[in-house]
Amino acid sequence: MTASTSAPAHPGVPVPARVETSAPTAGTGHAPSHHGELLQGVFLDGDGRPCAGLVTLPMAAPGTRAVFTPRPGTPPDAVAVTPGGRTKAARAARLAIAACAARTGRPAYGGTLRLTGAVPLGLGMGSSTSDVLATVRAVADAYGLRLDPGTTARLAVRAEGASDPLMLDDRPVLFAQREGRVLEVLGRALPPLLVVGCLLAGGAPVDTLALPAPDADAADLRAYARLRDLLRRAVADGDTALLGRVATASARRAQRVLEHPEFATLEALARRTGAVGVQISHSGSVAGVLYDPTAPDAGARADACRRALDAHRVPYTRTFTADGPNSRCQPPSRDVDDSWTPSAPSLC
């Protein structure tokens, strides 16, 4: 509610501006995470310009919940974040406050931001984007707004420098993570996947800002264009096997930078257990062995994979299915030990 003065008693005397009298209310926002990438590289955009892009493997959980509580009279750049150290979320809150205040004409107040959730940090699951997206949505909710995905993506890139496409719907897209724009919608939904998750490099966090900027020569561009074409075909045909080959090829190319010592072992056990391929985070340590969930013995193959991971001391995390909007965790079979190692946090 707002209040304003009545008409002036004397003509020519200006009426004071309308004054905001409603108390700001807390806003909430939620964002999912992902399980690394199916494809990442450098691709030509619609103008023929090389641009870094990626296709993520969606995951319904874990996620991040944000609560933003405006504090009247607080400068808009004064945002206290809990837990501490979430500098990208704090930056996103300040950017969102300015954007939402400009759209609504309401005062730009700072306030408190509380983040909760279980997205592991530094594993390449989009933890910072999940924080940022939940924050932007919480600030917008406090202002009575629901920002469109394009605006949210631009704010996320400004806050992070590079962002995952968690603000978009469940359609698989090739996303320019450093520009916050969609290079291509690949289709309606990914082919169905059964994913056995694990951690490479002992689950050690990766400093994504320390990784070299993506670069590609003419041969690289041709290779990435070929993988893009194959992924487009896999989505159009619902071809899980082809999707697995694309993800594996992309993961192999990433080893030129990541050099995971267990990657060869992961590929070998994938072949032995009848997987369609492997996928990794190109900026972290999370990885997955991919199976066709429609195969009659898919569950047995996944069980064999979990046993093989344990035998090679590769930390197992979680098994889940991913098929477009439906990504859910599954318990292992009863004959499989689902114990957790200290270095393998739950990803669901």
Partners of 184 in the β-ladder: 174
Q: Which amino acid is at 124?
A: G
Q: For the domain 189-330, what is the CATH code?
A: 3.30.70.890
Q: How confident is the prediction for the chain on average, in pLDDT?
A: 86
Residue that wins the pLDDT comparison between 331 and 102: 102
Residue that wins the pLDDT comparison between 327 and 335: 327
Q: What would the mean pLDDT of 331-346 be, rounded to a whole number?
A: 32
The reported pLDDT for the residue numbered 171 is 87
Tell me the domain boundaries of the chain.
Answer: 27-183, 189-330
User: In which residue are the tokens 């990504």 written?
Assistant: 327
Q: What percent of the chain is modeled with pLDDT above 90? A: 74
The reported pLDDT for the residue numbered 60 is 81
The reported pLDDT for the residue numbered 21 is 44
Q: Are strands 2-3 and 50-70 parallel, antiparallel or unpaired?
A: unpaired
* Number of Cβ atoms within 10 Å of the Cβ of 126: 29
Q: Is the pLDDT of residue 113 over 90?
A: yes
Partners of 113 in the β-ladder: 68, 81
* Number of Cβ atoms within 10 Å of the Cβ of 193: 25
Q: What percent of the chain is modeled with pLDDT above 70? A: 83
Nearest-angstrom CA–CA distance, 281 and 165: 14
Q: pTM to 2 decimals?
A: 0.84
Q: Which helix (H) or strand (E) holds 185?
A: strand 181-185
326 band by pLDDT with thresholds 50, 70 and 90 = very low
Of 18-22, 316-320, 336-340, which gets the smallest average pLDDT? 336-340
The reported pLDDT for the residue numbered 12 is 46
User: Among candidates 143, 85, 135, which has minimal Cα distance to 115?
Assistant: 135
Q: Is the pLDDT of residue 327 over 80?
A: no
pLDDT digits (tens, 9 = 90+) for 227-250: 999 999 999 999 999 999 999 999
35 band by pLDDT with thresholds 50, 70 and 90 = very high
Residue that wins the pLDDT comparison between 140 and 121: 140
CATH topology of domain 27-183: Ribosomal Protein S5; domain 2 (3.30.230)
**306 in Cβ contact with 195 (< 8 Å):** no
Q: Which amino acid is at 322?
A: A
The reported pLDDT for the residue numbered 285 is 92
